[in-house]
Amino acid sequence: MKKLFLTVATAAMMFACTNNAGKNPFLTEWNTPEGVPPFEQIKAEHYLPAFEEGIKQQQAEIESIINNPEAPTFENTLEAMDKSGRLLSKVALVFFNITESDGSEELTKVQEVVLPLVSAHSDNIYMDARLFERVKAVYEGREAMNYTVEQTRLLEKVYNTFVRNGISLPEAEQARMREINAELSTLQQKFGNNLLAETNAFKLVLESEEDLAGLPEAVRTAAAEAAKAAGMEGKWVIGLQNPSRIPFLQYSERRDLREKVYKAYINRGNNGNENDNKELVLQIIKLRIEKANLLGFETSADFILDDTMAKKSEVVNSFLLDIFKAANEKAKVELADMQAIADREGNGVKVEAWDWDYYTEKVRQEKYAMSEDEIKPYFQMENVRAGMFALANRLYGLSFEKLDNMPLFNPEAECFRVTDRDGSLIGIFYTDYYPRASKRGGAWMTNFREQYINEEGEDVRPVVINIGNFTKPTATTPSLLTLDETETMFHEFGHGLHGLLAKANYVSVSGTNVSRDFVELPSQIMENWAFEPEVLAMYAKHYQTGELIPNEIIEKINASATFNQGFMTTELTAAAILDMNWHDLKSAEDITDPIAFEKEMMDKIGLIPEIAPRYRTTYFNHIWAGGYSAGYYSYLWAEVLDKDAYALFAEKGIFDQETAAKFRTLLEKGGTEDPMKLYRDFRGAEPNPEAMLIGRGLK
């Protein structure tokens, strides 16, 4: 997932200090290796003054553009706007990254003040009629100018941002738009804070051997360490973070406890307590509909999709329903396989949602004689990461050097210097892979600094971060990843490469600043290499013996590549459809119960009761707080591209240098060209729409 931090994308042209200026690290040049943030020097009290000064500085920069007596040109208007707000971007990228990955009550309080400031500042820029007149003059005269493709893309992006922010609205409606933007920024952040609190609040305490029945030793050890950390030494604790919850649901023989954990997970934000998200969801969707209406769109989806590859809601819904039908049918077959095993066991069990992972593991062992517990010893985190780095070297000539004594935002983070074939700097890459109470769930990529060409003509290289919530090391074993965690690590690394390889002049179109339904292509294509035999030979070694993963296990992994894809595709597509159902609403005034609305929508498409959407309404952080509203479909949309793109590598050779060079060019260009043109330039043709279904074993 490419993480968007509220208005930071638009506010990369935006924010900094007061009388503490001499002591505030944001207000000085960072004398650190490659200019990375001096995390150890940054305190919570530094952020607000830095935001205030950053806003002040950019306001002055924008006024200077407006008051320029020369006729508007690309250089004195668009380029000047792109260069403005460097301090604001500097503090915002650090702040919003830290609040997501290492938050605290103190930072939450800062957020409550900062978010309205950021929202108002963005509106002040994109609702300034004087500034728009200059942009509009350049835009309307573009046909007569010999702009580069990148300049044209930047011009169109900025012009459309003004239009989409309501520059043409009457004064009263602009005022209402400002109110909506401010309210949304606060509500969306509250949604995410509630979800983190709900996730951290649940602890299933196990007190006896009977409670541990079926759990592998590694799961027991991790649960014992979690209990010790919670002050319950001698017991075992299961939480809702993936590395704790998923293996418990896979292996626990205590069906009653599996049900308890499963229901706690799917009811996050739906418990009628101070962290309940139902009312927030209704407030958010009503405001989004009102905003869309003000801008002349009937629904929020119409407004959001107008700025994507898909363009129309009907296109997305048709795309999703076709996939859902195929996946749902396969899921029914998978359910029958599981029920057959349950029937043979003779315990009178009818497989329910909380049984799916448990019986899936039994079917996996029966069909492929393979269990995750057998495979994980070959997937030590450090080895998997080294394998990713080796793959990037084979494909793109990149080298990764571990840097010690670097500033770190958390002791669990690690830092790498990335260089090209000629030794030149590509960027700095941080990884932070383990769950903690201060970190949101999931996995994502962002930047501490984005790539651009500065005023002196120097190529400012990016500082990129990958965040995960993978299996933690224990006192007796290192971090041993599941196949899903390994695939996720490769996925986020793909986003990382997209950011690291950026080669643009302007920050607003650099790296991952691309349309939402294109941004997942670079990440998802990386997943295809993860379990190729030649790639496994680069990293999959037993953590104790150093033995390379045996061929028979590789064969099992690849033979089971489409195993359980009915379930996985169904839950993913159901979530994407749920997202569209919410954002296709013309009005939400008659909806009083978001959970009832969700059930109605899922019943309508025929989702079987044994499967819930991957994200239910009250914990769907992607769409309510993560920048993927009316955009969760993009994972599947981009998968059509990634499966089709990888087919070229499969045809030419998975390390083919000519093909890799062409894909590197696509990564380097970021948002500087039309995404479909970039894809056609790489592939030489339009994408095959069936590639994804074939790749998932659904066709």
CA distance 331 to 325: 10
DSSP string, 179-236: HHHHHHHHHHHHHHHHHHHHHHH--EEE-STGGGTT--HHHHHHHHHHHHHTT-TTSE
Using the 8-state DSSP alphabet, how is residue 697 labeled? T
> Counting every residue, how long is the chain?
699
Contacts of 113 (CB under 8 A, 6+ apart): 48
Number of H helices and E strands in the chain, helices first, is 27, 9
Using the 8-state DSSP alphabet, how is residue 35 labeled? G
CA distance 72 to 74: 7
CA distance 166 to 178: 9
CA distance 501 to 186: 34
3 state DSSP class of 474: coil
CA distance 121 to 287: 19
CA nearest to 246, candidates 501, 573, 471, 5? 471
Other C-beta atoms closer than 10 Å to the C-beta of 136 total 17
Give all strands of the β-sheet with 425-432 in edge-to-edge order: 399-402, 414-419, 425-432, 463-467, 444-449
Q: Distance of CA 174 to CAs 12, 285, 286, 503, 652, Å?
A: 22, 19, 17, 36, 54
Place of tokens 């999709």: 305
Q: Distance of CA 181 to CAs 7, 172, 298, 662, Å?
A: 10, 14, 18, 40
CA distance 349 to 343: 7
Among residues 100, 198, 372, 492, the one annotated as catalytic is: 492
Catalytic residue list contains 207? no
Element at 415 (helix H, strand E)? strand 414-419
Task: Please give the angle made by the CA atoms of 671, 673 and 676, to the nearest 5 degrees.
Answer: 100
Dmax (CA) for the chain in angstroms is 85
Read off the tokens for 696: 């998932």
* Residues designated catalytic: 492
